[in-house]
């Protein structure tokens, strides 16, 4: 585990990274993780499905009733939305944040899964739920709120600040996943330190990965989107790996070097 001081020091001393190397390594790593990426999408869908039902079930009921009457009454829809109680709205907002927190925990766990597969270790389905525990969910919830507080104003300011904030925010998950003992403020500090240090290559890899996701999804008639979305997290993982690294692997490397 890294302390915040050692983490920031490693980021400060980070060497230059090669765009082509990281992208090609992302493709090779994706060949090992595509199944887990699909499971990530599946678990995310299962988690969010109850909220979708809670949100749209009343509206679907109204639409079906309108069809049974044989006519569409706009006033009925206006009355439906005007009659939505404050309690229902609060329920929806709370549901969005709760399920968003659980979904974020799944994505953080995916970074740990990528590491395991990267180093040839066994992966179990339970690994997806490593962070779905009370001691982690509260921290993830706060990180998610901070991300929203940063993203929304950035998007409103003509999207230009969003180009900067996207890269540091993308490191929230891996820095938390591999440094779970750090406090929220330290995770945010390290994420912005790493994101600023590797902003250009980070943004370039995010854009290219997203374009690959879109293009391959269209080519495969949307089927590829079920498997390809997690590919966008692979460059982020590899940047973290090359800049910060993992202490246990470093120890193994040192043993191997000392025996030569």
Query: Would you state the pLDDT for residue 145?
Result: 94
Reported as a pLDDT band with limits 50, 70 and 90, residue 67 is low
Residues 169-176 have a mean pLDDT of: 96
Percent of the chain at pLDDT > 90 equals: 58
> What's the sign of the alpha-carbon dihedral 168, 173, 178, 183?
positive
Number of Cβ atoms within 10 Å of the Cβ of 253: 11
90 in any annotated domain: yes
260 in any annotated domain: no
Q: Are 246 and 177 in contact (CB under 8 A)?
A: no
97 in any annotated domain: yes
For the stretch 76-133, pLDDT in tens is: 555 555 555 566 677 778 888 888 899 999 999 999 999 999 999 999 999 999 999 9
18 in any annotated domain: yes
Query: Would you state the pLDDT for residue 244?
Result: 94
Continuous segment of H or E residues that includes residue 18: none
77 in any annotated domain: yes
Q: How far apart are CA 231 and CA 25, in angstroms?
A: 11
Reported as a pLDDT band with limits 50, 70 and 90, residue 74 is low
> In terms of residue numbers, what domain contains 102?
4-254
Q: How far apart are CA 194 and CA 196, in angstroms?
A: 5
SS3 158: coil
Query: Would you state the pLDDT for residue 258?
Result: 36
Q: How far apart are CA 39 and CA 72, in angstroms?
A: 41
In 3D space, the residue among 155, 153, 192, 152 whose CA is nearest the CA of residue 172 turns out to be: 192
CA 258-179-236 angle, 5° bins: 90
217 in any annotated domain: yes
Q: Are 131 and 113 in contact (CB under 8 A)?
A: no
* Number of domains observed in the structure of the chain: 1
188 in any annotated domain: yes
88 in any annotated domain: yes
């Amino acid at each position: 585990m890294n302390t915040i001081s050692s983490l920031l020091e490693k980021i400060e001393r980070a060497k230059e990274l090669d765009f082509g190397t990281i992208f090609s390594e992302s493709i090779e790593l994706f060949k090992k993780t595509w199944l887990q990426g699909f499971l990530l999408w599946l678990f995310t869908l299962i988690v969010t499905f109850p909220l979708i039902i809670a949100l749209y079930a009343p509206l679907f009921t109204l639409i079906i009733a309108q069809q049974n009457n044989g006519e569409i009454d706009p006033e009925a829809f206006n009355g439906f939305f005007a009659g939505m109680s404050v309690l229902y709205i609060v329920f929806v907002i709370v549901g969005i944040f709760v399920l968003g927190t659980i979904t974020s925990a799944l994505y953080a766990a995916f970074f740990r899964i990528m590491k395991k597969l990267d180093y040839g270790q066994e992966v179990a389905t339970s690994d997806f739920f490593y962070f779905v525990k009370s001691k982690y969910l509260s921290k993830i919830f706060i990180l998610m709120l901070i991300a929203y507080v940063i993203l929304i104003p950035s998007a409103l300011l003509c999207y230009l600040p969003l180009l900067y904030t996207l890269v540091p925010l993308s490191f929230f998950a891996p820095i938390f996943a591999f440094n779970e003992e750090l406090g929220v403020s330290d995770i945010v500090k390290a994420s912005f330190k790493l994101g600023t240090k590797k902003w250009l290559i980070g943004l370039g890899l995010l854009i290219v990965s997203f374009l690959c996701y879109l293009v391959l999804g269209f080519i495969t008639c949307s089927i590829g989107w079920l498997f390809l979305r997690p590919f966008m997290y692979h460059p982020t993982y590899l940047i973290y790996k090359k800049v910060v690294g993992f202490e246990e692997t470093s120890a193994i490397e040192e043993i191997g070097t000392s025996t030569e």
